[in-house]
Amino acid sequence: MKLKSWIVVAAFWFALIGCGGGGGDGGSGGTEPSPVPVYERSLLVLEATSLEFGAELHWNEDRFPGAVFNVCLTEEHPESGSLIGRSQDCFSDRSAMVENDHVSPVTVSGLTGGHRYWVQVEAETPSGQIHRSRPVIVSARIPDEDLLGIDDWDWQRAPDLAAETQAISRRLAGFQQAARNKDIHSAVAFIQEDQRDVYQALFSHNPDAMPAFGVLLDRARMGFLSPPAEPAADSTQRTAEYALEIDGFTFYVRWMKHDDTWMLMDF
């Protein structure tokens, strides 16, 4: 069973989220319903996990009892580098796909593998207040058989295994140092861009939990290293997979190599 990025985080959910405080529909008492959501300070938190040709979306719907949740998705265009037309949120993008009245979690399928998408969720409370999560980037995953490319590849005999293992260890050490320092900005810089918003939100809830989270990754052991990328053959980027045992369960930490730099991809 493949690990989704949010599962390992869930082991530390209560530590990361903390007590939180407050209930109700997430709005402040006694205020008038506002039609203009300010998602930078929104209590609605969205997590997006990459799947093969799709994504799985989770949000804290229990914070908004009785609310109706709408999901928005739009593909990122390279020429804009952000949402189409550089709009402030997905719901203002005319070409976006919006589906109404959903319950968390939601599985989105039919996406193009390797392409980047922006996703956002909106909550409309019974009082008429509208809350929107921050837009999150997700990349639809490419199937492992396409990602690996070679069926008979023996990763344990890879000539550069030691060098790549050391390179990943150095990157992990950098992430762990940032975690020990509770430096959220530096820590998320080690994570693949399409997952940064997820961990930025999680770490921001309780930076004090970051050191323990970093130490946890010391227990991960490499279980696979894909063949080197072949640009001439238009092959996909190189990946490495580590196994992590927690209380009898096996979780996976995946790295992806961008140019000469390994980035945390899925954990």
Residue numbers of the domain that contains 105: 32-141
**pLDDT exceeds 60 at position 53:** yes
**pLDDT exceeds 50 at position 28:** no
Distance CA(241)–CA(25), nearest Å, equals 40
Q: What percent of the chain has pLDDT over 70?
A: 72
Q: Dihedral of CA 9/173/252/57: which sign?
A: positive
Instruction: Tell whether 113 and 170 lie within a shared domain.
Output: no
Instruction: Tell whether 124 and 162 lie within a shared domain.
Output: no
**pLDDT exceeds 60 at position 232:** no
**pLDDT exceeds 70 at position 34:** no
Which domain-ending residue is among 141, 176, 198? 141
∠ CA 92-93-97 to the nearest 5 degrees? 110
Q: Number of folded domains in the chain? A: 2
Instruction: Tell whether 151 and 85 lie within a shared domain.
Output: no
Instruction: Tell whether 177 and 126 lie within a shared domain.
Output: no
Which domain-ending residue is among 80, 108, 141? 141
Q: Cα–Cα distances in Å, from 201 out to 128, 195, 241?
A: 26, 10, 24
Cis peptide before 105 (omega within 30 of 0): yes
Q: What percent of the chain has pLDDT over 90?
A: 24
The 3-class secondary structure across 180-246, one letter per residue, is HCCCHHHHHCCECHHHHHHHHHHHHHCHHHHHHHHHHHHHCEEEEECCCCCHHHCCCCCEEEEEEEE
Q: Which pLDDT belongs to residue 20?
A: 41
Instruction: Tell whether 58 and 104 lie within a shared domain.
Output: yes
Instruction: Tell whether 132 and 160 lie within a shared domain.
Output: no
How does pLDDT run across 91-123, given as a tens digit for each residue?
887 888 899 999 999 998 888 776 778 889 999
What's the CATH number where 225 sits? 3.10.450
How does pLDDT run across 150-203, given as a tens digit for each residue?
456 788 888 889 999 999 999 999 999 999 999 999 999 999 888 888 888 888
pTM for the model stands at 0.49
Q: Is 69 exposed, middle or buried (0-12, 13-18, 19+ CB in 10 A)?
A: buried
Distance CA(108)–CA(116), nearest Å, equals 13
Query: DSSP string spanning 120-171?
Result: EEEEE-TTS-EEEPPPEEEEPBPPHHHHH--TT--GGG-TTHHHHHHHHHHH
**pLDDT exceeds 70 at position 69:** yes
Distance CA(72)–CA(108), nearest Å, equals 11
